[in-house]
């Protein structure tokens, strides 16, 4: 149905509508061009990567400025609160503030539907098929712009996207025909159609406002920004080649997982240790400058991060725009597996890699360091303590079965003790141990400072046999009184018998823990007692798995502690050693 047949005053209104459509088309092309210029992103120059998935990112580059002398970007980082800093590296321009917000811009997309093809081909000659088939020229789709909506909406209403009508204006021989787009069954372009459509979308923008003073505004300015954001992790792992004679070649490699942003030819710092980010779950802006600044002393002298700290501000003025909810802290990002205990108590140390290129979503495995270390073979027997009989008889069958596994066939474990004489610490990481190219075991390297040593477990030494026997030798029913109660005393003895069936002399380290007070130990055993004041079994990490099966009374902590005897002994092939110890504990009758 034609518009002229319904309204006798159609001609002036039609001319006005055509003028509005033409103006919208010109404005769209202009804004598209400007939006394309604004899509240039400030390149990443350096990134410091922590093992927990946070990264300290430095952007810097020469960026084009707008008519007001400011730098506008369409990239908004999501830093944790207090870690975003922007700066000007241009001697002629001073950074005065940073404004982040959203604006409506046309973004070119490929047209995929008939309505999108119609919207992207204003002025084209087409053959339209609805109820009839006719030739027409596409005049436009009536649209209310964001500016028009802003004038008519109540004050304080957030900026809205333009609203397009669901009808199209077609110029036909009889006049201008208004057709509902959904009624069009088929459309044939009589020329080559334009497949691009400028569709209005909200675009995140960041504006670095610059004061050029008396200087002439340049076409571009050197600017930068740094921040801490979750999104990149490095996972260390070691390859330890031992020669069987006390020398080990230790190789460190890193797996870098990038879910933050594309990085190209950047300097990457892999950090051992993780600073405490107290507000890591809170986005933007303020605090933690000291934690980030602490890292700068570890950078090499040619690192741009050091310069960035001396020439930055943290002024984040946020424009009054509509907000879009996003998950805080980037918790949904998959950055690979965690290594238990990694980085929690490690000092900061930085490995620097040059010319790293890694797109978002990619993974990179890269060698980091290699050094020669000395090691020694040690054979360790650790005998834990179990509950006293007065407690054990209260347990159920399943609990007794678990305790039987604790007591069953104690084994001597073969370990290598690495002496860290390298210039850097060893970090917590999986370690693959080989000898003559053959895999011996995989263990866990623990954090080892320079000058310290750590143990890597290889396997159970089945050719060193172990026998353990404990006996109660005496019980005194009324041994002592306290707080109006009488307490019994149990005296016990124990022996550990070890036989070396290997062909070489071995260095043995034996640790025996008991619940009570150790009175004596043979073979110059070293005795120590761990009470509640020193930690011991009062520390959650040192409690045995069965400890919470029983509600320990208050008097237990008054009388008893955990005793530990440690022996170190060299045992020749075919020889046997028998170690003895005596201890006691108190129990309320």
The pLDDT tens digits of the residues spanning 231-251 come to 999 999 999 999 989 999 999
Neighbouring C-beta atoms of residue 77, cutoff 10 Å: 20
- Which pLDDT score is estimated for 453? 95
pLDDT, tens digit, 9 for 90 and up, residues 96-109:
998 887 777 777 88
Q: Where are the domains of the chain?
A: 3-38+122-194, 44-103+212-369, 370-588
- Which pLDDT score is estimated for 37? 43
Confidence band for 328, pLDDT divided at 50, 70 and 90 = very low
**Strand ranges for 429-588 from DSSP E:** 429-435, 438-445, 453-460, 464-482, 485-500, 506-515, 517-521, 526-530, 562-571, 576-588
Bridging pattern class, strands 94-110 and 220-230: unpaired
Higher-scoring residue by pLDDT: 343, 177: 177
pLDDT, tens digit, 9 for 90 and up, residues 9-30:
434 443 444 444 444 443 444 4
**Strand ranges for 214-362 from DSSP E:** 220-230, 232-242, 247-258, 263-272, 312-313, 316-318, 349-358
Quick one: tokens of 558?
């008054």
326-347 average pLDDT score:
59
CA 525 to each of CA 224, 411, 528, 563: distance values in angstroms, whole numbers, following the listed order: 62, 20, 10, 12
Distance separating alpha carbons of residues 172 and 515, to the nearest angstrom: 99
The string of DSSP letters for 56-125 reads EEEEEEEEE--TTS-EEES----PBTT--EEEE--TT-EEEEEEEEEEEEEEEEE--SHHHHHHT-TT-E
Distance separating alpha carbons of residues 252 and 274, to the nearest angstrom: 18
- Which pLDDT score is estimated for 40? 67
Confidence band for 490, pLDDT divided at 50, 70 and 90 = very high
- Tell me if residue 415 falls in helix, strand or coil: strand
Distance separating alpha carbons of residues 55 and 48, to the nearest angstrom: 5
Distance separating alpha carbons of residues 56 and 47, to the nearest angstrom: 6
Distance separating alpha carbons of residues 579 and 470, to the nearest angstrom: 12
Q: Do the beta carbons of residue 502 and residue 571 sit within 8 Å?
A: no
- The lowest-confidence range among 117-126, 352-361, 528-537 is 528-537
- Which pLDDT score is estimated for 30? 40
Confidence band for 312, pLDDT divided at 50, 70 and 90 = low
151-165 average pLDDT score:
79
521 pLDDT above the threshold of 60: yes
Q: Over pLDDT 70: what percentage of the chain?
A: 81
Quick one: tokens of 80?
């944790």
Higher-scoring residue by pLDDT: 455, 315: 455
Show the CA angle centred on residue 85, arms to residues 80 and 88, nearest 5°: 160
Stated as kind and residue range, the H or E segment containing 17 is helix 10-38
Close Cβ partners of 449 (under 8 Å, ≥ 6 residues apart)? 347, 420, 425
Give Rg (Cα) of the chain: 37
Confidence band for 34, pLDDT divided at 50, 70 and 90 = very low
β-partners of residue 287 are none
- The lowest-confidence range among 217-221, 373-377, 564-568, 571-575 is 217-221
Q: Do the beta carbons of residue 375 and residue 246 sit within 8 Å?
A: yes
When the pLDDT of each residue in the chain is averaged and rounded to a whole number, the result is 82
321 pLDDT above the threshold of 70: no
- Which pLDDT score is estimated for 24? 41
- The lowest-confidence range among 149-163, 355-369, 557-571 is 149-163
* Tokens 């006049």 found at: 175
CA dihedral 573, 574, 578, 579 (to 10 degrees): 10
Confidence band for 224, pLDDT divided at 50, 70 and 90 = very high
Confidence band for 63, pLDDT divided at 50, 70 and 90 = very high
């Amino acid at each position: 149905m034609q518009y002229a047949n319904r309204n006798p005053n159609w001609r002036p209104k039609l001319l006005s509508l055509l003028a509005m459509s033409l103006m919208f088309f010109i404005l769209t092309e202009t804004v598209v061009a400007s939006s394309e210029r604004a899509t240039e992103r400030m390149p990443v120059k350096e990134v410091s990567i922590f093992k927990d998935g946070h990264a300290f990112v430095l952007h810097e580059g020469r960026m084009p400025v707008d008519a007001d002398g400011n730098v506008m970007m369409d990239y908004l980082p999501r830093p944790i609160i207090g870690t975003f800093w922007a700066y000007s590296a241009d001697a002629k321009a001073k950074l005065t503030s940073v404004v982040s917000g959203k604006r409506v811009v046309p973004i070119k997309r490929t047209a995929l539907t008939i309505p999108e093809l119609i919207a992207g081909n204003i002025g084209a000659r087409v053959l339209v098929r609805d109820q009839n088939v006719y030739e027409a020229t596409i005049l436009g789709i009536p649209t209310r712009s964001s500016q028009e909506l802003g004038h008519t909406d109540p004050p304080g209403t957030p900026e809205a996207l333009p609203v397009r009508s669901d009808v199209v204006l077609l110029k036909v021989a009889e006049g201008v025909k208004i057709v509902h787009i959904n009624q069009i069954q088929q459309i044939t372009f009589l020329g080559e159609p334009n497949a691009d459509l400028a569709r209005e979308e909200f675009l995140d923008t960041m504006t670095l406002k610059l004061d050029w003073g008396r200087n002439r505004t340049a076409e571009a300015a050197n600017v930068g920004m740094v921040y801490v954001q979750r999104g990149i992790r490095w996972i260390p792992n070691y390859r330890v080649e031992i020669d069987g004679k006390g020398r080990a070649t230790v190789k460190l490699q890193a797996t870098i997982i990038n879910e933050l942003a594309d990085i190209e030819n950047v300097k990457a710092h892999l950090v051992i240790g993780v600073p405490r980010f107290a507000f890591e779950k809170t986005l933007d802006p303020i605090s933690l400058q000291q934690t980030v600044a602490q890292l700068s002393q570890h950078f090499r002298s040619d690192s741009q991060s050091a310069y960035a700290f001396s020439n930055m501000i943290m002024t984040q003025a946020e424009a009054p725009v509509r907000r879009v909810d996003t998950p805080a802290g980037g918790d949904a990002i998959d950055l690979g597996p965690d290594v238990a205990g990694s980085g929690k108590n490690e000092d900061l140390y930085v490995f620097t890699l040059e010319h790293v290129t890694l797109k978002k979503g990619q993974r990179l495995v890269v060698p980091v360091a290699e050094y020669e270390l000395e090691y020694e073979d040690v054979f360790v027997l650790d005998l834990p303590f179990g509950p006293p009989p007065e407690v054990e008889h209260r347990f159920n069958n399943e609990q007794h079965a678990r305790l039987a596994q604790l007591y069953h066939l104690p084994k001597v474990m073969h370990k290598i003790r690495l002496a860290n004489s390298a210039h850097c610490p060893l970090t917590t990481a999986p370690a693959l141990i080989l000898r003559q190219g053959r895999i011996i075991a995989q263990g866990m390297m623990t954090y080892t400072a320079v000058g310290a040593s750590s143990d890597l477990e290889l396997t159970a030494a089945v050719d060193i046999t172990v026998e353990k026997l404990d006996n109660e030798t005496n019980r005194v029913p009324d041994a002592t009184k306290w707080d109006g109660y009488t307490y019994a005393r149990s005296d016990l003895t124990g022996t550990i018998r070890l036989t070396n069936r290997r062909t070489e002399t071995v260095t043995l380290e034996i640790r025996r823990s008991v619940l009570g007070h150790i009175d004596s130990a043979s073979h110059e055993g070293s005795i120590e007692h761990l009470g509640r004041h020193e930690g011991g079994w009062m520390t959650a990490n040192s409690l045995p798995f069965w400890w919470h099966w029983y509600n320990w009374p208050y008097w237990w902590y008054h009388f008893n502690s955990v005793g530990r005897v440690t022996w170190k002994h060299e045992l020749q092939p075919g020889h046997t050693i028998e170690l003895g110890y005596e201890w006691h504990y108190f129990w309320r009758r």
